[in-house]
Amino acid sequence: MFALVDCNNFYASCERVFRPDLNGKPIVVLSNNDGCVIARSNEAKALGIPMGAPAFHHQEVFEKHNVKVFSANFGLYGDMSSRVMSILFTYTPKMEIYSIDEAFLNFDGFDLYNLQELGTQMRHKVLTGTGIPVSVGFAPTKALAKVANHIAKKFPERTGGVYFMDSEEKRIKALKWLGVEDVWGIGKQHSKKLIYLGVKTAYDFIQLSDGWIKKNMSVVGLRLKRELQGERTLELEDLKNKQSIATTRSFDRMYTSLIELNERVITFAVTCAEKLRQQKSCCQAMMVFIHTNFHREDLAQCSKNIVLKLPYPTSSSSELAKFAKEALARIFVNGYCYKKAGVILMDIVPALPNQLNLFEHSNPKHKALMKAIDRINADFGPHKILLAAQDPARRWKMKQEKLSPHYTTRLDEIMIIKAD
DNA sequence: TCTGGGGTCCTAGGGCGA
DNA sequence: TCTGTCGCCCTAGGACCC
């Protein structure tokens, strides 16, 4: 039996933990640069504010209904997530952290336990331990656990936030209730096509022939059908090193000069390198891209990218910065207003058994240097040591006008309670 | 004026060597 | 030496997830 534990409106709930005065009030959390809505409390959803909506389109609604708006505070959310996960981990060691706000737990062999009760306990413990409300769905497969979780979340009064799909009758009933567009693994494109063909529910979907599904939705669709039929095709996945590491950003304004873009791209490469060293890997290829603002039809558009095969595997910030600079120089075209750029590291290999290229290889001195930089940045806060090509004044700061304090990760922002 | 960021997996199709 | 076929590998693009 699998359980899927999912935090309710996670980012909004994190903000509420430290602002209990906002309970019952509408909250939205915005993406980087305060661009789009990326999380909403139930009250904000009820106001019809859609996911992914540009914030400036809904400014009026925010003001009219006194919606509390937050800039994304990923430091806080990451820390709250690890607290939730560490509590869940006490229930079973067989756990897969699927995303920042959800985890699959394997309860095979728990036949003598009352899982419904265990789910209620888990929910209570996470809520009292972290302040984050969660929903729990139990089912025999991962895809069905997703469905069960959906039910728990949708009907909290009836389920108490925990739903246990333990019979064929419940499975069929759930699949007949669930819209095909809400099935995990069926996205926008496929659901549009399916609905057009009269396939409206998850139950309709599993009536389709294997041949049709394989042809139109590949083996992924077929696996999903099996899972919804109760046949286990997906197991818990081990924590794996990333196969690609990206840092990409939209800018606060248009960039026109190569010098300005250089600084940004080098900083992205340095951030990627830090992530790379964290997982003890090196990369052998790098993609750099730049593009203009697609939403500005009045301006000339330009989108360029390049993949560099590196002459040797490396995780050195200064070497990756050098390659990023070279790559940018090769794609930069003068005369455009650039709005976004990014660096993506690819072809990632473990750091230890680096094969030395006969003619060129990573500077061995960099290994010790990077270790020292990582240590200093870990002890004294991020961005304390920068490359000369980076901007120490950080003039490119993201727009984050509604940022809450980092209550749990920065001593100088910790909450102070004054007694009268 | 203002529209995010970071990932994974699968398939089709072309290049290329046996 | 030339040509056809097969299978492997790589890449781009599309679909999905949060």
Length of chain A: 420
Residue ranges of E strands in A218-302: 245-255, 281-292
Segment A70-82 mean pLDDT:
94
Only one residue has tokens 């022939």, namely A209
| A267 has a pLDDT exceeding 80 | yes
Q: What is the pLDDT, as a whole number, of residue A356?
A: 54
Distance A117 CA to C12 C1' (A): 49
- The answer to whether some atom of strand C lies closer than 7 Å to the beta carbon of A189 is yes
Q: What is the pLDDT, as a whole number, of residue A353?
A: 53
Helical spans, DSSP H, in A109-197: 115-130, 142-154, 156-159, 168-177, 188-196
- Give the model's confidence band at A360: pLDDT under 50 very low, under 70 low, under 90 confident, else very high: low
Residues sharing a CB contact under 8 Å with residue A173, sequence separation 6 or more, in sequence order:
none
- In window 68-97 of A, residues with CB < 7 A from nucleic chain C are none
Specify the pTM.
0.92
Give the C-alpha separation, A36 to A52, whole Å.
Answer: 5
- Give the model's confidence band at A272: pLDDT under 50 very low, under 70 low, under 90 confident, else very high: very high
* A91, A118 Cβ separation under 8 angstroms: yes
* A277, A241 Cβ separation under 8 angstroms: no
Q: Which nucleotide across the nucleic acid strands is nearest to A100, CA versus C1'?
A: C18
- In window 12-71 of A, residues with CB < 7 A from nucleic chain C are none
DSSP for A6-31, written as a single string:
EETTHHHHHHHHT-GGGTTS-EEEE-
Distance A36 CA to B6 C1' (A): 16
Percent residues over pLDDT 90 in chain A: 73
* A163, A137 Cβ separation under 8 angstroms: yes
Only one residue has tokens 């490119």, namely A396
Distance A217 CA to C14 C1' (A): 11
- The answer to whether some atom of strand B lies closer than 7 Å to the beta carbon of A341 is no
Report, in ranges, which bases of strand B sit under 7 Å from a protein C-beta.
1-11
For chain A, the farthest-separated pair of C-alpha atoms sits apart, in whole angstroms, at: 72
Q: Give Rg (Cα) of chain A.
A: 24
* Mean pLDDT score across all residues of chain A: 91
- The answer to whether some atom of strand B lies closer than 7 Å to the beta carbon of A216 is no
Residue A211 bridge partners (DSSP): none
- The answer to whether some atom of strand B lies closer than 7 Å to the beta carbon of A218 is yes
Distance A350 CA to C13 C1' (A): 28
Most confident of A103-112, A293-302, A355-364: A103-112
* A281, A349 Cβ separation under 8 angstroms: yes
Percent residues over pLDDT 70 in chain A: 96
Helical spans, DSSP H, in A229-385: 258-278, 317-331, 365-380
- Give the model's confidence band at A358: pLDDT under 50 very low, under 70 low, under 90 confident, else very high: low
- The answer to whether some atom of strand B lies closer than 7 Å to the beta carbon of A193 is no
Segment A233-237 mean pLDDT:
91
pLDDT in tens, A131-155: 999 999 999 999 999 999 999 999 9
Distance A280 CA to B11 C1' (A): 31
Lowest mean pLDDT among A221-225, A299-303, A370-374, A406-410: A370-374
Distance A308 CA to C2 C1' (A): 37
Q: What is the pLDDT, as a whole number, of residue A173?
A: 97
Q: Which nucleotide across the nucleic acid strands is nearest to A248, CA versus C1'?
A: B5
pLDDT in tens, A157-211: 999 999 999 999 999 999 999 999 999 999 999 999 999 999 999 999 999 999 9
Give the C-alpha separation, A332 to A261, whole Å.
Answer: 9
**What distances in angstroms separate CA A177 from CA A62, A183, A200, A229, one per listed residue?**
33, 11, 10, 15
Report, in ranges, which bases of strand C sit under 7 Å from a protein C-beta.
12, 14-18
Segment A317-331 mean pLDDT:
93
- The answer to whether some atom of strand C lies closer than 7 Å to the beta carbon of A287 is no
Lowest mean pLDDT among A43-52, A357-366, A376-385: A357-366
pLDDT in tens, A11-62: 999 999 999 999 999 999 999 889 999 999 999 999 999 999 999 999 999 9
Q: What is the pLDDT, as a whole number, of residue A414?
A: 87
Distance A316 CA to B3 C1' (A): 34
Instruction: Give SS3 for A92.
Output: coil
Q: Which nucleotide across the nucleic acid strands is nearest to A10, CA versus C1'?
A: C18
- Give the model's confidence band at A394: pLDDT under 50 very low, under 70 low, under 90 confident, else very high: low
Residues sharing a CB contact under 8 Å with residue A233, sequence separation 6 or more, in sequence order:
A141, A223, A226, A227
For residue A44, which amino acid is it? A
CA count, 13 A, side-chain hemisphere, A301? 7
* A26, A43 Cβ separation under 8 angstroms: yes
Q: What is the pLDDT, as a whole number, of residue A396?
A: 64
Give the C-alpha separation, A30 to A41, whole Å.
Answer: 12
Count CB neighbours of A319 within 10 A. Answer: 19
Q: Looking at the C1' of nucleotide B10, which residue has the nearest alpha carbon?
A: A218
Query: For chain A, give me the number of helices (H) and strands (E)?
Result: 14, 12
Q: What is the pLDDT, as a whole number, of residue A60?
A: 93
Distance A55 CA to C9 C1' (A): 45
